[in-house]
Each structure stands twice: as structure tokens, then as C-alpha cells.
């Protein structure tokens, strides 16, 4: 089954097959409310292992731990921004291999729009990512293109409860820094490359 359903993504959200996920313009207040409400919810019929992300780094593999961001931002008429803030300047999980592989389960109808690998902006005490920007109280919920890491996504098998198992890889070696794999704006898995 390996290689049957492979899709390569670039930071514009386009695949080589021409698929595109369109973002809708929503009031930023609604985006913030939805992000707050959804961040603590998990589908009740999802088994515990369906949320696992396994990181394969050469011969080593580790089940990654999901982390919870805090939210920061401002609503305003001329401009509005929302950030997710992650404590500490560095992730606990450290890599030296610039081409890690991630394996996880996901709903096949949503995996292409729900899973992203991105590079954090780092500060002395935290890592952060802008997740929404807009004007006039409206905003688009998306990560800036220059922060998204281009990846390839390959379906590798069946998963529990009608999910499929996927393998995601960066299409180019990662540069040193702090990174995160995000699933559905609900689960965040951080790591750093030294």
C-alpha cells in the first residue's frame, strides 16, 4: 500500500495534484472562541492510541507528547492578531537528524488540511506562532506561509475507527530550530533540531 496515496505539500497549501484547501474569512472573535473550545475536546469514539504521533529519527523512535499552548492576541478594528504561545525557549525533545519521519492516524477526509509541520518564532522565554491575522474584527485562521515546512504525506495503512495511518516527512532537510507538528488545531507536538 505504501506510495499509493502520496501527496506533496508546499507552504501555499497546494499539492502536486492541484488540490487546495480554501480558508474562510471568519470574525476573529469566533476564531478565538472556537480555538478555545476545541483545544480541550477529543472525539469520544477515538481510542487512546489514535492521538499518538510517533517520531522516527534514524534507528530511534519515540511516541511524542502533546503540549497545550496558551493564547495571546488582540482584537482591533485596524488589525487583529492571535498567537499560540508554548512555554520555554526549547522543546524537551531534541533531534540531530534533519529529516525526521512522523507517523500518525488521521481521518482521511481531513488529513490534508488538518496536519501541518511548522517552525516556531523563538523568544528568550517562549516559542510562538501566529495563528490568525485580520482587520476590522475579522481574521483568517492560518499559520504564516513562511513558517510552514513543506512535507510529503503518504498513507501507509488502516487505523482504528475508520482512520488511516500516515507517514509525513519534510521534503527538504530541516534547519536548526524549534518545530511543531499540529493536528486539527487541537494537538501540538513540539521538538527541536540542534
pLDDT at 135: 78
Q: The C-alpha cell of 51 is what?
A: 492521538
Which of the pair, 130 or 59, is modelled with greater confidence? 130
pLDDT at 5: 44
What is the band of 49 on the pLDDT scale with cuts at 50, 70, 90? low
Q: pLDDT-based confidence at 7, cuts 50/70/90?
A: very low
Mean pLDDT along residues 66-84 = 84
Contact 6, 153 (CB under 8 A): yes
Here the cell at position 133 is 491575522
> Would you give the distance in Å from CA 167 to the centre of its chain?
14
Q: Is the pLDDT of residue 14 over 80?
A: no
Pick the more confident residue, 171 or 27. 171
Neighbours of 2 (CB within 10 A): 10
CA nearest neighbour of 61 among 98, 91, 101, 94: 101
pTM above 0.85, yes or no: no
pLDDT of residue 50: 67
First to last CA, the chain: 34
Amino acid at each position: 500500500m505504501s506510495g499509493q496515496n502520496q501527496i506533496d505539500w508546499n507552504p501555499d497549501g497546494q499539492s502536486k495534484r492541484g488540490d487546495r484547501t480554501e480558508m474562510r474569512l471568519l470574525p476573529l472573535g469566533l476564531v478565538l472562541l472556537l480555538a478555545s473550545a476545541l483545544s480541550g475536546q477529543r472525539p469520544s469514539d477515538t481510542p487512546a492510541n489514535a492521538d499518538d504521533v510517533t517520531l522516527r529519527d534514524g534507528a530511534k523512535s519515540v511516541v511524542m507528547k502533546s503540549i497545550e499552548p496558551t493564547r495571546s492576541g488582540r482584537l482591533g478594528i485596524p488589525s487583529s492578531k492571535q498567537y499560540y504561545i508554548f512555554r520555554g525557549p526549547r522543546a524537551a525533545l531534541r533531534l540531530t537528524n534533519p529529516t525526521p519521519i512522523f507517523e500518525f492516524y488521521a481521518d482521511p477526509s481531513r488529513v490534508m488540511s488538518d496536519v501541518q509541520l511548522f517552525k516556531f518564532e523563538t523568544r528568550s522565554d517562549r516559542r510562538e506562532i501566529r495563528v490568525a491575522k485580520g482587520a476590522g474584527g475579522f481574521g483568517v485562521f492560518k499559520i504564516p506561509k513562511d513558517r510552514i515546512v513543506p512535507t510529503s504525506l503518504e498513507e501507509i495503512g488502516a487505523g482504528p475507527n475508520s482512520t488511516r495511518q500516515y507517514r509525513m516527512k519534510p521534503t527538504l532537510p530541516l534547519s536548526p530550530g524549534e518545530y511543531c507538528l499540529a493536528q486539527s488545531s487541537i494537538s501540538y507536538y513540539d521538538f527541536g533540531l540542534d
